[in-house]
Amino acid sequence: MTRRASRSLTVLKVGGDLVSGSDLETAVLDRAAAAWDEGEELLLVHGGGSELSRWLARLGIESRFVGGQRVTTSDALPVALMVLGGLINRRIVEGLVKRGCPAVGLTGADGCGTLAVPIDDPPLGAVGRVVSVNAPFYRDLIDARRVPVIASLSYCAGRGWLNVNADLMAASLAAGLKARRLLLMTGVSGVLAGDGRMYAELTLVEIGRLLDERVATEGMIPKLEACRAALRARVPEVRILGPDGHGGGTRCTL
């Protein structure tokens, strides 16, 4: 039997900073639970870079980034597994369950939900990109009215666990599940231009220019790369939103 496309599915990516016990966490989880309660299909992907950096610092392990992505050394990887796949994932699941939303906490490796390959250029250590999405696995959970909460970790048969940028993982899942929309929720209201104004809309060509001309920096680089990947996969709606989810953020279009 052919599986139907998930054209009512929203893939929501939230940064770990937005679910760290603050008022923003309440707003994000309230919004997610309300959407599910209204009948929306939802899959949530989370990162947790700042919290991971704090735990690494406590253990005397340096945090280093290249092109907006964390270099994950052999020392840092077990900490990433514990913080992303444990602490933050459990916190989000608890928050949703408290709101009556039946969340299921997973990493991208659970159920062979995703497979990844290492990113070796530039060398980032145990960091990968998703190359395969097990759509039936996630579809079964969503059809059962569960909300998968995915920590941005995946697996490679030849290399083991890989840390995956959460924005890029969300884009891969949105593409693989043929989602209706991809929402990247971040700590800023949208994509900002050099003069501080916010782009209300960015086309695929404009996204490429911001990346090629290195106007985008640090964490905005993988966000724009994620938007580009989702658009190329024909995800109908792609947005970068602020933490409160209001104001429309930056809409990305073909």
Domain ranges for the chain:
9-187
Work out the number of other CB atoms within 10 angstroms of the CB of residue 199.
Answer: 17
Percent above pLDDT 90 for the chain? 71
Amino acid code (one letter) for 137: F
Q: Residue 246: what pLDDT?
A: 59
192 vs 162, residue with greater confidence: 162
φ/ψ (deg, to 5) at 171: -65, -40
Residue 220 pLDDT greater than 90, yes or no: no
pLDDT of 17 > 70? The answer is no
Residue 195 has pLDDT above 80, yes or no: no
DSSP at 188: S
pTM of the model as a whole:
0.93
Q: How far is CA 112 from CA 159, 173, 236, in A?
A: 15, 13, 26
CATH for 9-187? 3.40.1160.10
Least confident of 160-164, 212-216, 226-230: 212-216
Integer angstrom CA distances of residue 66 from 111, 161, 191, 224, 243? 30, 19, 20, 15, 25
C-alpha radius of gyration, the chain, whole number: 17
Q: What is the mean pLDDT of the chain?
A: 90
Q: Please check whether residue 164 is in contact with residue 220, taking contact to mean a CB–CB distance below 8 angstroms.
A: no
Q: Tokens representing 177?
A: 């599940």
DSSP-derived pairing of the beta strands 201-203 and 181-185: unpaired
Smallest CA-to-CA distance from 178 within 72, 53, 43, 49 is with: 43
Query: What tokens does 205 get?
Result: 């060509």
Higher pLDDT, 6 or 76: 76
Render pLDDT for 117-163 as a digit per residue (tens, 0 to 9).
Answer: 999 888 999 999 999 999 999 999 999 999 999 999 999 998 999 99
pLDDT in tens, 48-97: 888 999 999 999 999 999 988 899 999 999 999 999 999 999 999 999 99
Segment 180-202 mean pLDDT: 85
> Sheet harboring 9-14: ordered strands across?
103-107, 147-151, 41-46, 9-14, 181-185, 237-241, 250-253, 201-203
